[in-house]
A and B are shown apart, each in its own frame.
Chain A
Amino acid sequence: MVRIPIDGRFDDNGRAVGNGRGALAATLVTRLQAMQRQINAKSFAVLRVSGGGVVLARKLTCALSNWGASSEVNAHELISVYGEELLQHLDRAPLPVLWDGQGEHQAADASDFAPFTHRLKGRKLSYSGIGFPIRLGARGNGYVVFTGSYIDVSGEQIVDLHGRSAHVMTDMLAADEKQPVKAEALTDREIACLQMASDGHISEEIAEKMGLSVHTVNAYLGAATTKLDSVNRIQAIAKAIRLGYIN
C-alpha cells in the first residue's frame, strides 16, 4: 500500500484513482521503487519541507512512501528523531546522510564514498537508511530517503540516485504548480506594478513610468495583495517572488 497524504488519491491496493496527479504519483512510485531495489533497501519515503516559506514554522512532512501500514509510525519516528538535524543539514550541504538502525545488522555504509557523506549519530531508529538532501531553491526542498536493514552503497550508486531523486522532487514541484489556483490569476498590470515595487520604486514613480495616476497604481497593488491572500504590499511582493509571478 502506498500512502499519499497530499490528496490521498490511491485505493487500498496502491492503484492511482482519478486524475493526472494520481497518475503522476504512480509513476513516481515506480521510479522510486526501481531506485530502492538498486541498493537493496526495503522502502522509500519522500520528505518535503513545509511551512509555506515561514522559516520558523519549517518542518519535514512525509509526502510519499511505501511504508504501508506502518507509515505514520515510521515517518513520525524519523522526523522526531532526526528531523531537526536533517533540516539544518539541508541548509548547509547536499551530502547524503546515512544512519544505522538499532538492530545488530542494521547498518548503512558508503565504503569508498564516506568522505562525501554525513552520518547521523546514534542507533535510534528501527531501520537503517540513506537520505538524499534535495534543495531546489525557494521551494521544492526535502529529502528522498531509502530505508532497510543492511544497506551498502557505492559512490557511483549514490551519485546516480541523488540525481534521480532530484528529478523526483522537481516533478513533484511542477505538479504542485499545475494545481488550479484558488485565487484569480494576477493581471499583467498588477504584475508590472508588483515588479516595479519590488525593484524599489515608490507608487509615484510607478505611476509616472506607467502613465497612470498614483491612485490607480495603489489600486492595482491592493488588488494584487488581495489575490495573493496577503495582508500588505510587502507580503504580496514576497509571495509573488516565491510563486514566480515576478523576478
Chain B
Amino acid sequence: METSQANAAWSFEAAAPRACGSGVSREQLTARLGESAARASLGSGLAALTGYVGASHYLLARHDLSQDSGLDFVICSDWPFDVVRRLSGIVAGLNTKSSELEKCLATLQPCFLPMPHDVDLPRGASRSYCAVTFNVGRRRFLLMLLFPEDVILSREGLRDIAVLAGYLVSLKAEIAGRQERECDLTERELECLLWIAEGKTSEEIAVILGISRNTINNYITSVMRKTGTRTRSEAIAHAVRHNLV
C-alpha cells in the first residue's frame, strides 16, 4: 500500500506541469466522479480520471465488438478526430493477436504500445499510447490514453482509474442499453446456443426444451441471420467470442 501510494504521488508530480493534473487527491477525484455520475456525463468523469493519472486524452471503446464496420465501437473520446479515424487500424492488431485466455489475464493490466508512424498526434504527445481493458458484466472495454512525452504513468494509478472507469460505465444506463440492441437475440435463441455449445444436437435440445426439432432449427437459422454467420460452427464461435454463452 505504501509503495502504491508513493508511486501515485510520484506520477502525479511528474504530471504537475499539466494544468488539469495538478493537486487532485484520490478523495477529490472520487467526489468529482460522484458528480459526473449524478449528472450522467461519462465524458467529464473520464476526463477527471485522465487528468488524475497524468495523461492528456482519453478514448473509451468496446473491446469485444467487430472493429470492421465504422467507429460504432468507440463510446466516448476526446482524441483528435484524425487519430480516431485511424483507430480501427490501431486497435485491430491489439484485438486479433490474443486469445480469450490472454485477454482474461490482461484485464486491468495497463500496457504501452507504439502508435503507427504515420499517425499525426497532438504536439508534445508521446508516440506511444497506454491501453488497459476492464469488464462491465459481459462487456469488455478498452480505455486508451494519450499522454505527454515527458510523463511516466504509474501502473497502480492506471489500474485504479480502470477500476473507476468500470464503475462509471456500469452506472451509465445508455451504454448498457446499447448493448442490448447489439446482441438482439431472444432468450430462447440464447438458450439454444447454450445447449449447442455444450455439444447437444437439435434432437436432444428438442427433448430438453420440450419443443419441436424444427422450431430449434428455426431458432438457429434466425441466430445465424442476426449474427451474420454462415454455419452453425461459426454461430457458436461468435457466441463464445462475445461471451453470450
Binding site for B on A (CB under 8 A): 34, 38, 53-56, 90-95, 112-113, 115-116, 135-140, 154-156, 159-160, 162-163, 166-167, 170, 173-174, 177, 197-202, 230-235, 237-238, 241-247
Contact = CB atoms under 8 A, between A and B. Distances in A.
B150 to A, nearest CB: 26
Interface majority SS (helix, strand, loop, mixed), chain B: helix
| A contact face: mostly helix, strand, loop, or mixed | helix
| Central interface residue in A112, A113, A166, A246, by most chain B CB within 10 Å | A166
Contacts, number: 168
A155 B30 contact: yes
B111 to A, nearest CB: 14
A244 B108 contact: no
A226 B64 CA distance: 29
Contact of B99 (A156, A233, A246): A246
Contacts of A243: 101
A166 B134 CA distance: 10
Interface of B: 1, 4, 26-27, 30-31, 33-34, 37-38, 96, 98-105, 107-109, 134-138, 140, 156, 159-160, 162-164, 166-167, 170-171, 176, 194, 196-199, 201, 229-234, 236-237, 240-241, 243, 245
Given A94-B167, A159-B164, A241-B240, 9 more contacts: A34-B1, A92-B137, A116-B171, A135-B138, A139-B104, A156-B27, A200-B233, A238-B245, A242-B101
B166 to A, nearest CB: 4
B136 A94 contact: yes
A95 B170 contact: yes
Given A137-B107, A162-B163, A156 B229 contact: no
B142 to A, nearest CB: 13
Nearest to B26: A156
Ranked 9 nearest A-B pairs via Cβ: A235-B199, A244-B101, A200-B234, A93-B170, A244-B99, A198-B237, A155-B30, A231-B199, A136-B104
Contacts of B31: 112
Contact of B1 (A54, A155, A160, A174): A160
A241 B240 CA distance: 7
Contacts of B160: 159-160, 163
A88 to B, nearest CB: 10
Nearest to A236: B199
Contacts of A34: 1
Contacts of B163: 94, 159, 162-163, 166
A115 B35 CA distance: 10
Contacts of B4: 160
Given A167-B108, A198-B233, A238-B236, A137 B140 contact: yes
Contact of B197 (A91, A116, A200, A238): A238
Contact of B96 (A94, A232, A247): A247
B231 A200 contact: yes
B200 to A, nearest CB: 8
B1 A163 contact: no
Nearest to B244: A55
B135 A136 contact: yes
B153 to A, nearest CB: 14
B30 A113 contact: yes
A246 B236 CA distance: 13
Given A155-B26, A233-B233, A238 B107 contact: no
Contacts of B105: 136, 140, 170, 173-174
B9 to A, nearest CB: 12
6 contacts: A53-B245, A93-B170, A94-B135, A115-B171, A159-B163, A200-B237
B65 to A, nearest CB: 14
B130 to A, nearest CB: 15
A234 B236 contact: yes
A121 B169 CA distance: 23
